Amino acid sequence: MSVNYDFTDKVVVITGSSSGIGAGIAQLFAKSGANVVVTGRNGDRVAKVAKQCTNVSPKQLTALEVVGDLTNNEDCNRLIDTTVQTFGKIDILVNNAGSGRLTSIDDSDYMEKFVFIMQTNLNSVVYLTHKCVPYLAKTRGNIINISSVGSKIPSSRFSPYHISKAALDMFTKCMAAELGPKHHIRVNAILPGYVRTDILMTSMSLNRTESDQKFDQTADIYPVGRPGQPQDIANTVAYLASNTEAGFLTGSIVVADGGHLAVVGLK
């Protein structure tokens, strides 16, 4: 039996929603009746996903497009201000945007990559949460942060990414503890495993063939017999965002990894 969520009249901001997991999340919320805000750094990709959201919306609601760089606080301000000016409120914030780079501590550009990844994966989440609290308090809304199984597993050449995600998990718990009693805002995080997107090409400089091979390998390792799809994570986000279905969940770090953590190190 499929689950049909109803987010009619809800306003949902999804960062990094111009491709991959974020695009899948945006489309599911649009299909469920929400007003969605699609944002990313590439205007053409933002427009493409926004059109897809409008097409699946039951009432053909026009998705709001905001092009910007989340490492820039002015762009973060514009994202939130434009959303409120357009829709008058914010109900759900999905902090999905993330980046990774291969680097070792003795690389000459390690600190440059470290700073960029922390700005993208952690600082932007902290800043947007800070900006959204007044609006989410009014709607008794909630926040979902997209973390990673990398928050639980060390890495020798991907340390900034893993550090940023571990910090994101703790930020999630701290905000749940702080914002629940004070503002009735729920805050949760999701830990995806390998999800078939372009991330391996952008973070590890793999070509399409190499990326596909890496994902295909998970079919032999993951207990579910396949890598994740954006829809898998989108379904988990929708569940956590629903006050009806998940109203008792806050401060939770929900693992949606196809069994990655269960078998890591075994094969």
Per-residue pLDDT, 111: 97
81-103 pLDDT per residue, tens: 999 999 999 999 999 999 999 99
Q: How long is the chain?
A: 267
Task: Yes or no: say if 94 and 146 are a contact pair by the CB < 8 Å rule.
Answer: yes
Active-site residue, 161 included:
yes
Domain boundaries, the chain: 11-263
- The amino acid that residue 53 corresponds to is C
pLDDT-wise least confident of 87-96, 114-123, 160-169, 208-217: 208-217
Which pTM does this prediction carry?
A: 0.94
Residue from 161, 194, 222, 239 carrying the catalytic annotation = 161
For residue 97, the 8-state DSSP code is: -
Q: Where are the beta strands (DSSP E) in 7-87?
A: 11-14, 35-40, 64-67
CATH class of 11-263: alpha beta
